[in-house]
Amino acid sequence: MFIGGTWMKYKAIFFDRDGTITYFCKEKEIWRDNQISKWTGKPFELSYEKMMKLFNLASEGKKPWYKTLDDERNFFKRYYKHLLVEESVVEDIEERAETLFNELWCNGDRKLFSETIEVLEYFKRNGYKIGVISDTSPSLEFTLQQLGIAKYFTSFTASSLVGAGKPSPIIFNAALSAQGVTAEESLYVDDYKPEADGARQQGLTSFLIDRNQRYNDEWTINDLRQLIEYVEKQN
């Protein structure tokens, strides 16, 4: 691909969201735990098993759990009601569930890594198509709008909307189709090794972002800015 007279090996770059360009705000979890403890008079801890039980209750037997943003909103409103019932809260359940929902659902629960905007700016400025691929809900685009970075992306591929999660070929193919590019024309980066490897198996040039430096090979980076170094060497 030629842009501005320069030949470019790649046309598109895809990012995972959580753990790659964003991270969860720990302060929100602390607020939640403290608030529920205040209402129950006992320490609160949300285990994975408890969370999945609540998700199943909130789903009301539906699969997938949600297909639209409104479905997702209603799902999490039910989720917080079930959580309070599970914790034996008996007073003001509707009001308190609404308090949890308003504070916790897509409300400052994620932050950007320090280099995220710099890297997105680089790829946008240099003519790359930019997409996000995430095992997540319909609020994917909405969460990036809240963080002020949705403007950099031209596709938002969420597992809940395509009916398959990573590393299934289905979700990667959906993302490639949305951008009108081939796997060979595309870069990908993810913080979860099976998903980074899965993208590579589909033909994308795929990197693992490993900020804790657990891995050390040619397809592992510790900072997103290393993607810039890589593509500049290829051009």
**What is the distance, to the nearest Å, from the Cα of residue 148 to the centroid of all Cα atoms in its chain?**
15
pLDDT at 7: 53
Could you list the residue range(s) of the whole structural domain that residue 186 is in? 2-23+112-234
Same structural domain for residues 15 and 30? Answer: no
What distance in Å separates the CA atoms of residue 188 and residue 133, rounded to the nearest whole number? 9
Residue ending a domain, choose from 55, 72, 104: 104
pLDDT at 234: 86
pLDDT at 1: 55
**What's the total number of domains in the chain?**
2
Residue ending a domain, choose from 73, 104, 135: 104
Cβ neighbors of 56 (< 8 A, separation 6 or more) are none
pLDDT at 81: 97
pLDDT at 220: 97
Cβ neighbors of 109 (< 8 A, separation 6 or more) are 24, 25, 28
Same structural domain for residues 9 and 55? Answer: no
pLDDT at 37: 96
In which residue are the tokens 């801890």 written? 45
Q: Where are the alpha helices (DSSP H) in 87-133?
A: 93-104, 116-125
Query: Is-contact 173 204, C-beta < 8 A?
Result: no
Cβ neighbors of 90 (< 8 A, separation 6 or more) are none
Residue ending a domain, choose from 86, 104, 122: 104
Mean pLDDT, 10 residues at a time, the chain of 235 residues: 59 97 93 96 92 91 85 95 95 96 92 98 97 95 96 96 93 98 98 96 98 93 97 86
Same structural domain for residues 98 and 207? Answer: no
What distance in Å separates the CA atoms of residue 44 and residue 147, rounded to the nearest whole number? 29
Query: Is-contact 58 65, C-beta < 8 A?
Result: yes
Give the CA distances from residue 42 to residues 27, 32, 38, 87, 89, in Å, rounded to whole numbers and listed in that order: 19, 13, 7, 9, 11
Same structural domain for residues 69 and 167? Answer: no
Same structural domain for residues 53 and 152? Answer: no
